[in-house]
Amino acid sequence: MRFLAGSHGRPFYDRQGRAWRDDRYYNGGVSLTAPSGRSYSGLPDPAFVHSCRQGTFRYDIPVVHGTYELRLYFIETQFGEGNPGGGPVNARMFLVSLNGKPLLELFDALSEAGAPNRLHTRVFRDVSPAEDGKLHLSFQPMNEAPAFLSALELLPSSPGRVRPIRIVAQRDNVVDTKGALWQADQYAVGGTQVDRATFANEPERMLYQGERYGNFAYHIPVATGKYRLRLHFAETFFGTNLPFARNNPAGPRVFNVFANGLALLRNFDVEKEAGGPNKPLVKEFENLEPNAQGMIVLDFIPVHNYAEVNAIEVMQME
């Protein structure tokens, strides 16, 4: 189940192939159309921002009995620097409750996202309906400003588990040789996504047909727990004997990678570690945990030339 809060039009199909339907199962609040002509960041799709529901409101969502993964999406378009309401980060604070129990208290979407007009997503696992077969979500203001919600996603899951996240730095989804779906680039803040020429005779070459480069971050929302991270790299631009290197002797690409401020890679040279250009390289890290905002924030910081990444996997550890 996916819907855009406050939307009352046709379903929206994002570039990950997901259908987001119009608002439903709500009581109270008002529908607002999102401002156009702004620069939004961290979106799963450039056209994702449509609307929101705000005020004092609730959702009573009928579901089949079982366990679900709940994702709540917020993007602050009213308050914060440059927005009509202006104000400090605590201009809007509200309470989100699930089946009568607090889920988010004194929630400040602007502060949690770190900037206005930036998507912030919270993920909750082991969500189940109340005795009446419905999920009851309530949104109540905690100061003068109304509560709000931008979108909601509800996915069946196994008890205690969350779905793996697989991202390729490409404009479209891809399926690897094992049949796993990798979703088109999302959760990125900064940098530039580009297509790259892939290399022949590599079984998983489809993962390296695009990259995000520059000075950038990925704000990946996860539920509480510990996670295994796999970063996929290939040097297809700055490497020895590649066209750019021959025509522009800029030297190798060197960069750092951090996860929630913890250094994962320092002075990292993809070509050197992979043993040459056009060769895949996977770096794996374990026991990563989300920050207080429910995110694994991956920062890719250039040291010489641009940082880059081709694909990202985040999987819950046993």
| 169 within 8 A of 311, measured Cβ to Cβ | yes
Which amino acid, 185? D
Neighbours of 98 (CB within 10 A): 19
- What pLDDT score was predicted for residue 199? 76
Q: What are the strands, taking DSSP E only, across 110-250?
A: 119-127, 134-141, 147-149, 151-156, 165-168, 174-175, 181-182, 188-195, 210-221, 227-233
Separation between Cα atoms, residue 65 and residue 71, nearest integer Å: 18
Q: Are 75 and 49 in contact (CB under 8 A)?
A: yes
Amino acid, res. 91: A
How would residue 318 be classed by pLDDT, with cut points 50, 70 and 90? confident
Q: What is the mean pLDDT of residues 225-245?
A: 85
pLDDT at 288 over 60: yes
CB 49 within 8 A of CB 150: yes
CATH 2.60.120.430 fits 2-156, yes or no: yes
Q: For residue 303, what are its two tokens?
A: 């040291």
Q: Would the pLDDT of 248 be above 90? A: no
- pLDDT, residue 88, reads 84
- The pTM of the whole model exceeds 0.85: yes
Do 316 and 166 meet the contact criterion of CB atoms below 8 Å apart?
A: no
Q: Is 65 exposed, middle or buried (0-12, 13-18, 19+ CB in 10 A)?
A: exposed
CATH (residue range 165-316):
2.60.120.430
Q: Is the pLDDT of residue 246 over 60?
A: no
Domain-wise residue ranges, the chain: 2-156, 165-316
Residue 82 — pLDDT band, cuts 50, 70, 90?
A: confident
Mean per-residue pLDDT over the chain, rounded: 93
Interval 191-218 mean pLDDT: 90
Res. 104: pLDDT tops 90: yes
- Judge contact between 78 and 43, C-beta under 8 A: no
CB atoms within 10 A of CB 88: 11
Q: How deeply is 183 buried, as exposed, middle or buried, from its count of CB atoms within 10 A (0-12, 13-18, 19+)?
A: buried
Specify the DSSP element, H or E, that contains 298: strand 295-304
What's the rounded mean pLDDT across residues 142-167? 95
> pLDDT category, 3, cuts 50, 70, 90?
very high
Other beta carbons within 10 angstroms of residue 133's beta carbon come to 11
| Distance in angstroms (rounded) separating the CA atoms of residues 237 and 250 | 11
38-73 tens-digit pLDDT:
889 999 998 998 899 999 999 999 999 999 999 999
pLDDT band at 189 (very low <50, low <70, confident <90, very high): very high
Read off the pLDDT band of 247 (50, 70, 90).
low
